[in-house]
Amino acid sequence: MLGGSPAVAEAPKKVISSDWQIARAWSEARATLEYAIGAMEKRNGWFSPSLAFKVALPVDHEVGVEMVWVDKIRRDGQTFKARLANHPTYMPGRRMGDTVDFFHAQIADWAVQAVDGRFYGYYTTRVLIKDMNPERAAKYRALLIDNPLPPEWRFNPEK
């Protein structure tokens, strides 16, 4: 839902894709989402500015939802509020920088910027790179840390 609070009845059960590689990327991102939320939540519901989410927002278009990146995230009760971090295609009258509301279940991916400026997460971007032209793919690869999960978030039973 755009603007205002989304109704609980509108909360999707999960984000899905017909592309098995994207579906797997979303599944991996969702499996580690609580680490990102736990590590990046600061105070009064606000999250670190280095955190971004890719969310599925409902749209009045045949596609049904638009996947968009959001940043400047804060928790607002059962929902989140955030700023559109890219230009939406199917949201007339909305543009980058506008505030949107969404549920936890609408989060499909996450990204966290590391101290060196590169990124953890971006599970879907890691899948999409293989279909990019080599020059563009190299630029994206340079921005991503090889392992999408920060070392301190990885489960290691031998520690």
Q: Render 57-92 in DSSP notation, one character per residue.
A: EE-SSTT-EEEEEEEEEEEETTEEEEEE-S--SS-T
pLDDT tens, position by position, 68-105: 999 999 999 999 999 999 999 999 999 999 999 999 99
Best CA proximity match to 73, nearest among 37, 105, 106, 39: 37
Q: How far apart are CA 149 and CA 33, in angstroms?
A: 10
Q: Where are the domains of the chain?
A: 14-153
pLDDT tens, position by position, 49-77: 999 999 999 988 788 889 999 999 999 99
Instruction: Specify the pLDDT at position 157.
Output: 45
